[in-house]
């Protein structure tokens, strides 16, 4: 069941009855949430000096654990390859994946996993060594392209080159380390991936300034959280993400939430609905089987969406992405991030 259908079921369910869900119940029984990420994607997911995964995508693993278990640190974050991550999720070996998986029609139709919330709107592009001497993708006729096995990248490349009558050869390499080594050693002329991933992967080069990302974006890539099929789990993840967007729109962050809570009666009604003991999120908790203070735990432990974006990808990070210049800006700023109402 997808979140878009869940509202109908909630209207029919008694307020005190939580929806049954095997995956959701397992998370609560085990007191941990297993979440899969890319094993080496600086800014998005990469282990720190202590071997703990950090980055934009890991924050949504922590978000889900905070919402369901009340503790963001109960997210068991594991690095795994792209194809293996979807196989593992479909086999029930993990609870969710937050690793830049594009939601597509055929993937969403697969009963083995559910696509829940798009956390980043991206597009596919090309990275080349500056020594190749090209400035635009139309100059890549005859190029050898390194790409990831099992991804939409291969399909997008085939469409793009075919539509323009350009020839190419692909090095289809599933292991990311091997794929980057092939590109940086000169085995491939071009490295193809989502533009944000290209920015991240360029940082792994010995001399990042020797490489450039071409200006063309050849596809739409809605990068989406995926979970095991389970109405409770899907709803918890979906609404926890919407909470982060709502907090953003209302000016609530991990830095000021305690002050907001302390003066809740002076806050706008929309803020009170999020954090009051008898507010909308408390009503949702009773229906979904979440901790009564799940909204507070998500914002206080993880933060609002803009906090997560800026501390991992923003102008003060190595990736240096200005959210306002991307489709991930708030809807009010011309972007696609639109907070669903919590009331």
3-state secondary structure of 262: helix
Is 3-122+222-333's fold the same as 124-219's?
yes
Q: Residue 2: what pLDDT? A: 38
Would you kindly state where each structural domain of the chain is located, as residue ranges? Answer: 3-122+222-333, 124-219
N- to C-terminal Cα separation, the chain:
22
CATH class of 3-122+222-333: alpha beta
- Cβ neighbors of 202 (< 8 A, separation 6 or more) are 127, 208, 211, 213
Q: Which of 37, 146, 191 lies closest to 100, judged by CA?
A: 37
Q: Which residue has the tokens 């090209």?
A: 134
Q: Residue 148: what pLDDT? A: 84
Cβ 32 vs Cβ 76: under 8 Å: yes
Beta 211-213 vs 143-147: how paired, if at all? unpaired
Written as one string, the DSSP assignment of 172-222 is E--SHHHHHHHHHTTS-SEEEEEHHHHHHHHTTSSSGGGEEE-S-----EE
Structural fold of domain 124-219: D-Maltodextrin-Binding Protein; domain 2 (3.40.190)
- The angle at the Cα of 308, spanning 307 to 312, to the nearest 5 degrees, equals 110
Q: Residue 81: what pLDDT? A: 86
Q: Residue 17: what pLDDT? A: 37
User: 81-105: per-residue pLDDT in tens?
Assistant: 888 898 999 999 999 999 989 999 9
Which pLDDT tens digits describe the chain residue by residue (343 residues)?
334 343 333 333 333 333 458 999 999 999 999 999 999 899 999 999 999 999 999 999 999 999 999 999 999 999 998 888 989 999 999 999 999 899 999 999 989 999 999 999 999 999 999 999 999 999 999 999 999 877 788 899 999 999 999 999 999 888 888 999 999 999 999 999 999 889 899 999 999 999 999 999 999 999 999 999 999 999 999 999 999 999 999 999 999 999 999 999 999 999 999 999 999 999 999 999 999 999 999 999 999 999 999 999 999 999 999 999 999 999 999 999 999 999 9
Q: Which of 21, 15, 61, 13 lies closest to 37, judged by CA?
A: 61
The HSE-up count of residue 314 (CA atoms within 13 Å, CB side) is: 11
Q: Which of 133, 190, 130, 197 lies closest to 166, judged by CA?
A: 190
Give the Cα separation of 10 and 240 in Å (integer): 17
């Amino acid at each position: 069941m997808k979140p878009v259908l869940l509202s109908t079921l909630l209207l029919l369910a008694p307020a005190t009855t939580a929806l049954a869900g095997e995956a959701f119940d397992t998370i609560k029984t085990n007191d941990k949430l297993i979440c899969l990420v890319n094993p080496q994607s600086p800014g998005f997911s990469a282990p720190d000096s202590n071997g703990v995964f950090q980055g934009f995508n890991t924050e949504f693993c922590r978000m889900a654990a905070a919402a369901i278990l009340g503790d963001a640190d109960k997210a068991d974050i594991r690095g795994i390859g792209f194809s293996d991550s979807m196989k593992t999720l479909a086999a029930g070996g993990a609870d969710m994946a937050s690793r830049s998986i594009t939601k597509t029609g055929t993937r969403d139709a697969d009963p083995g996993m559910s696509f829940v919330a798009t956390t980043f709107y991206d597009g596919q592009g090309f990275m080349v060594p500056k020594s190749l001497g090209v400035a635009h993708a139309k100059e890549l006729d005859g190029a050898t392209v390194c790409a990831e096995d099992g991804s939409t990248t291969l399909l997008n490349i085939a469409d793009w080159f075919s539509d323009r009558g350009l020839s190419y050869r692909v090095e289809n390499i599933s292991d990311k380390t091997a794929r980057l080594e092939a590109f940086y050693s000169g085995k491939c002329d071009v490295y193809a991936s989502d533009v944000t991933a290209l920015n991240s992967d360029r940082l792994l080069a010995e001399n990042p300034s020797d490489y450039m990302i071409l200006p063309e974006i050849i596809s739409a890539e809605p990068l989406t959280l995926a979970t095991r099929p389970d109405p409770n789990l899907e709803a918890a993840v979906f609404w926890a993400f919407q909470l982060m967007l709502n907090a953003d729109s209302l000016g609530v962050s991990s830095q000021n939430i305690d002050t907001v809570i302390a003066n809740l009666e002076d806050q706008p009604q929309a803020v009170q609905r999020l954090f009051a003991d008898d507010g909308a999120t408390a009503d949702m908790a009773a229906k979904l089987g979440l901790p009564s203070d799940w909204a507070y735990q998500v914002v206080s432990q993880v933060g609002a969406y803009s906090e997560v974006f800026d501390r991992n990808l923003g102008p003060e990070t190595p990736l240096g992405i200005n959210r306002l210049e991307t489709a991930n800006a708030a809807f009010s700023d011309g972007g696609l991030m639109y907070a669903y109402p919590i009331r």
